[in-house]
Structure 1
């Protein structure tokens, strides 16, 4: 019954509103597919024109500019890397009004899905309200597979009027949409706490696997035991599988956690709140980044440990 209700809501939402998505990366492409699968006509924009056109071949509209997408859509969903890219999406970078914000209709909703400083998100809400636009602070989690299946998690905060317009689209993209407050900031605060745990867990998983390799333990056997024991974590099970496969293709890159744990530490520093584990994990990702692994999968943080032989890529 719940699934039927959600489909009906999305169908009703489509009659009233149009949706656009900016950023067809690992998460954004899956989110756009989920929206399309729910029956929405999805307008998309990506700096890689070919990515937008490839999406549109199977249904949808590839927009040639941010201004075109902003003018066409009542709800604009931004899935870019950071606050700076979000600013560029909204307001442009060259002072020539090439962003989408000034082209959006009054009352339209901007849904921000990046991991950012919560204070920046609060300020952005106020800025957009001054332009007659609504805003939802909506960081995401779950990875590319859950984004593609419409089962990711959204940590959201915003005013009821914004949800009234955007909620059918949020439901189409996510298995869980948490409403954490009626103004911006709460979603981003919960997301950075999630990233604190994710980063620390990846760093700890890498350290554990590295010790096992150093001590001559069979890596496959270690993985099997740990994933069936109390020491397991979702990140150990997921990321150490990448290590065993010798595959560091970036689903989430090392530099993502350089950024995200940096935000965590900045927020805590402003409150004079100690985060010793987060600080150590951040230094580990920084070390991996400066050692040349910045764009590799975040499991490549294991490469900072000396004196270990990592599994070779399977099939090589």
Structure 2
């Protein structure tokens, strides 16, 4: 779809983007927006993120307000809902954005918190899109993220070209804030459980003396394989793999999953166990390690650490 093909009637196509959260995923997402021909003004507390944006052709800003000025769309790729609220509402920063700006919250947040943020944005007269993503750092780098967007049809159509510049699948999963976050919550349940299950299988192979690389090769070619096993499995066998998604991310995300279970009285025993495994790995000092290193929890249990 050409940029602006679904622009809001009576308004020009979205060209000016404010991007806040230039971390491991945010940096390549912002770069892809620049590649798509959009003007990107970014903010992050980490100077490295700002330098990366400038090298890509974007404009680093010294404050959130500076980034928001003149923005058609505001993309938030922050850590959690608390950061999103701080970015938007501390010192009434959102007031610096044009009245017609659309706020796209792309971080993984609890559905109820997303609803609250959306209500606060709406009270300023601006629009909101609940638009979490899946695909990790690799997906962000190659522009193959899946975007799970919830917004009224007109708002979604207006911002869709911006979202499509960062992902290969942009899906409208609902028309109300919180629905995108709910879909992402279910997604993260499976991701966390799949990683933990892959770690358990490879930890068993280690314990019984099977060559783990041979075991991994066998498993990925059978019905027992999964995307997570293929992606995380090789890193589980490395002592210090490159971090593409940290253990603490899944501590947070699975906590959101369990919160959803508590609120709806849904039984989530596998998610609860996976959460404990990630939590114990973090508790041993490995929270910043790659999430594949949840296998260290099994090694500790098995006495093979």
Flag whether TM exceeds 0.5 (same fold).
yes
Counterpart position of 1:41: 39
Q: Map 1:6-85; keep pairs closer than 5 Å.
A: 6=2, 9=5, 16-85=14-83
Q: Following superposition, which runs of at least 4 residues in structure 1 exceed 3 angstroms of deviation?
A: 5-17, 306-310
Counterpart position of 1:280: 273
Size of the aligned set, in residue pairs, is: 301
Counterpart position of 2:288: 295
Counterpart position of 2:164: 171
Q: CA deviation at 1:54?
A: 3.1
Counterpart position of 1:231: 224
Q: Verify the 8 A CA contact 1:258 1:286 in the aligned structure 2.
A: yes
Q: Verify the 8 A CA contact 1:14 1:40 in the aligned structure 2.
A: no
2:115 pairs with one of 112, 118, 122: 122
Q: CA deviation at 1:248?
A: 3.2
Structure 1: tracts of 5 or more residues without a match:
311-316
Q: CA deviation at 1:180?
A: 0.9
| 1:53-85 deviation per Cα after TM superposition (whole angstroms, max 9, x unaligned) | 332133121111100111231100000111111
Counterparts of 2:94 and 2:24, CA distance in 1: 24
Q: Map 1:194-213; keep pairs closer than 5 Å.
A: 194-213=187-206
Q: CA deviation at 1:100?
A: 3.2
Structure 2: tracts of 5 or more residues without a match:
none
Counterparts of 2:7 and 2:103, CA distance in 1: 20
Q: CA deviation at 1:271?
A: 1.3
Counterparts of 1:186 and 1:115, CA distance in 2: 12
Counterparts of 1:171 and 1:228, CA distance in 2: 32
Q: Which SS does the other structure have where 2:128 is aligned?
A: strand
Q: Map 1:118-267; keep pairs closer than 5 Å.
A: 118-267=111-260
| 1:155-184 deviation per Cα after TM superposition (whole angstroms, max 9, x unaligned) | 110123322431210111110001011111
Q: Please give the TM-score of this superposition, normalised by the length of structure 1.
A: 0.90
